[in-house]
C-alpha cells in the first residue's frame, strides 16, 4: 500500500509540473515589455521549487533505505551474533552508497541553483 501511495504522489507531482509547464506562453514570441521577463522569473522560481522537491524526495528515499538496511542488519545480528563483524562492514558500505545518492541529488540541485546552464538562454530570450 505504501509503494502505491508513493507512486501516486510522484505521478501527481509530475503531472502537476508538466501541466503548468505546458500551459506557459511561448517566450520567443512574447514582447519584451513584461511577458518575457515574467516568464523568465517564473522559470527561475520553478527551478527553485523543483530543486527543493528533488532534495526532499532524495532525503526521504535515503532515510527509508537506510532504515531498512539497519533493520535487516540488526535482524541478521540477532539471528547470528558471531557474524556481526562482517555484517557491520557490509551495512556501513550499504549506508555509504545510499547516502551518496542523496549527496548526488544535492550536488545537482546546487548546480541548477547557482550555476544553471540555461540561465544565459533564458536571460537572452527575455531581454533582461
Domains and CATH numbers, the chain: 51-128 (1.20.20.10)
- Residues 78-123 pLDDT 10s: 999 998 888 889 999 999 999 998 999 999 999 988 888 888 888 8
Spatial distance between the Cα atoms of 1 and 24, rounded to a whole number of angstroms:
35
On the question of pLDDT at 19 being above 90, the answer is: no
High-pLDDT (> 70) share of the chain, %: 75
Amino acid at each position: 500500500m505504501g509503494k502505491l501511495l508513493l507512486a501516486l504522489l510522484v505521478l501527481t507531482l509530475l503531472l502537476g509540473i508538466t501541466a503548468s509547464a505546458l500551459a506557459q506562453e511561448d517566450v520567443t514570441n512574447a514582447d519584451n515589455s513584461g511577458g518575457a521577463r515574467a516568464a523568465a522569473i517564473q522559470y527561475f522560481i520553478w527551478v527553485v521549487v523543483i530543486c527543493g522537491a528533488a532534495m526532499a524526495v532524495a532525503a526521504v528515499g535515503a532515510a527509508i533505505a537506510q532504515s531498512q538496511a539497519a533493520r535487516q542488519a540488526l535482524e541478521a545480528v540477532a539471528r547470528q551474533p558471531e557474524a556481526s563483524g562482517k555484517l557491520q562492514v557490509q551495512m556501513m558500505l550499504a549506508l555509504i552508497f545510499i547516502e551518496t545518492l542523496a549527496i548526488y541529488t544535492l550536488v545537482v540541485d546546487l548546480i541548477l541553483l547557482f550555476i544553471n546552464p540555461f540561465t544565459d538562454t533564458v536571460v537572452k530570450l527575455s531581454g533582461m
